[in-house]
Amino acid sequence: MARTGKRKEYEPIGDTSEPESLYFYLLRFIQHCKIINMSKNTIHSREIYLRRFIKWCDKRGLIKAQEITRPILERYQRHLFLTRKPDGSPLSVSGQLSYLNGIRAMFKWLTKQNYILYNPASDLDLPKATKRLPKHILTASDAETILNQPDTNTITGIRDRTIMEVLYSTGMRRMELVNLKTTDIDIDRGTVLVRHGKGDKDRMIPIGERAIGWIEKYLNQCRPELAIGMSENILFLNTYGEEIGLTWLSRIVRNYIDKANINKTGSCHLFRHTMATLMLENGADIRYIQAMLGHAKLDTTQIYTQVSIQKLKDIHTATHPAKNQISNQMPSETETKH
């Protein structure tokens, strides 16, 4: 298992001798984001996307913010559209939007600060975001099969089982799980405090008795063996006693899903989708699902009303006139032969 480490300090990019370069404006913009208390994850993501944009500009001799025009941004937008990942797949629409929204935010700020005279990104036509249904949803039986994959005779197996139990019980995001501290779990009340969720918002949510039981087992039997480094009360640790990494977490969960051989693919988010869908099918109000998932808008949660097909199927079976019995008017097999 690789060490997670801390986020690295980024190297300067572009022309560092030019005080009005995109690079120096980026540093000022990131400082502004910190001042207005934007979430660390958002700042981190924006810096990554903006650095890639600045590198693209630097290769084309575009150094200053004043040199960036709308046609140049449209060229970059086309570049994103044509970009292919290592596996040959294109950037998703949401991925393209992440790049472009960071650029729009920075140039809007540059204009407000009078660093540039006009905002070249103000009228940029963004790709239309599509709301896709989750590709796979686990049944309750599928979930149990996956949860039983770790070898719970080992320390790491108990940890991995506990991680997946928490994901399944709460539907929290992987970043939220990685950030959990031991003090965020209230075993007596059966709740967990999710700190710095999306939008840097905290929320208190319930967690099931079985997941609590696995957390107690992990805390009593495993975490003391793993806590050999500066863990800072982080709940889930790697074998170096450090906070687990997001990439590692996705990989380990995906491996257990593949090992379960249920002909479904996914990782941490698969448990999130599954929790929401199964709770909805079992009668939970969608507003409670919204609170569990930490969605700011109900519209985001309503996707699960489309995924939750079982109730609609039951109603269809009960009310559609062509149901259950085969019509007497259907031709027999012999009648259809010529």
Known catalytic residues are 173, 198, 269, 272, 295, 304
Task: Identify the three-state secondary structure at position 192.
Answer: strand
User: How far is residue 296's CA from residue 163's CA, in Å, rounded to a whole number?
Assistant: 25
Residue 198 near residue 42 (C-beta atoms within 8 A): no
Q: How far apart are CA 70 and CA 76, in angstroms?
A: 10
Strand order in the sheet with 203-206: 185-186, 191-194, 203-206
Class of residue 159 by CB neighbours under 10 A (exposed 0-12, middle 13-18, buried 19+): buried
How far is 305 from 303, CA to CA, in rounded Å?
A: 5
**Hey, which bits of the chain come out as E strands?**
185-186, 191-194, 203-206
Which of 232, 256, 229 lies closest to 240, judged by CA? Answer: 229
Vertex 270, ends 267 and 271: CA angle to 5°?
105
Per the CB < 8 A criterion, the answer to whether 158 and 150 are in contact is: yes
Distance CA(71)–CA(78), nearest Å, equals 10
State the DSSP string of 214-235: HHHHHHHHTHHHH--S--TTBS
Query: Residue 231 to residues 204, 219, 243, 255, 324: CA-CA distances in angstroms?
Result: 23, 13, 7, 25, 59
